[in-house]
Amino acid sequence: QVRLVQSGGGSVQAGGSLRLSCVSSGYTTSNQYVAWFRQSPGKEREGVASISIGGGVTWYGDSVKGRFTISRDNRGDTVWLQMDSLKPEDTAMYYCARSRDEWLRDKLDQYEYVYWGQGTQVTATS
């Protein structure tokens, strides 16, 4: 059974940085994708960043390009989301997710992902 456990997050002043971690266990292939999504009250869940575990190729949502960095360890067990220059509009619940398939049409589409972490709150105050 695939399990994702998140850590990190919290509250920071605008302009600050936070790092999220997502540790996967129970998976049987390393050629999947892991992504970070976020959702704030009244809004749709938004794809933030995605990484291919096998090749390390990354994709980012337009709102975070140049500020957030997704990375993984060599085994593909842990994926991080480094968030710099945080803005109040980045405030949301953040979720990591892992795909079951080894090819995704849209790497930032939540419906492409099957396994989800428990979520962690990120707050950037002005």
Residues 50-105: pLDDT tens digits? Answer: 999 999 999 999 999 999 999 999 888 999 999 999 999 999 999 999 999 889 99
Residue at token pair 């972490």: 117
30 Cβ contact list (under 8 Å, min separation 6): 53, 54, 75, 76
Check residue 30 and give its pLDDT: 76
CA distances from 42 to 36, 46, 92, 126 (A): 19, 12, 11, 20
Residue 55 backbone zone (phi > 0: left; psi -120 to 50: alpha; other: beta): alpha
Check residue 124 and give its pLDDT: 98
Residue 29 has pLDDT above 80, yes or no: no
CA distance 76 to 86: 26
Q: Which pLDDT band, with edges at 50, 70 and 90, does 28 fall under?
A: confident
Q: What is the mean pLDDT of residues 19-37?
A: 92
Q: What percent of the chain has pLDDT over 90?
A: 88
What DSSP character marks residue 24?
E
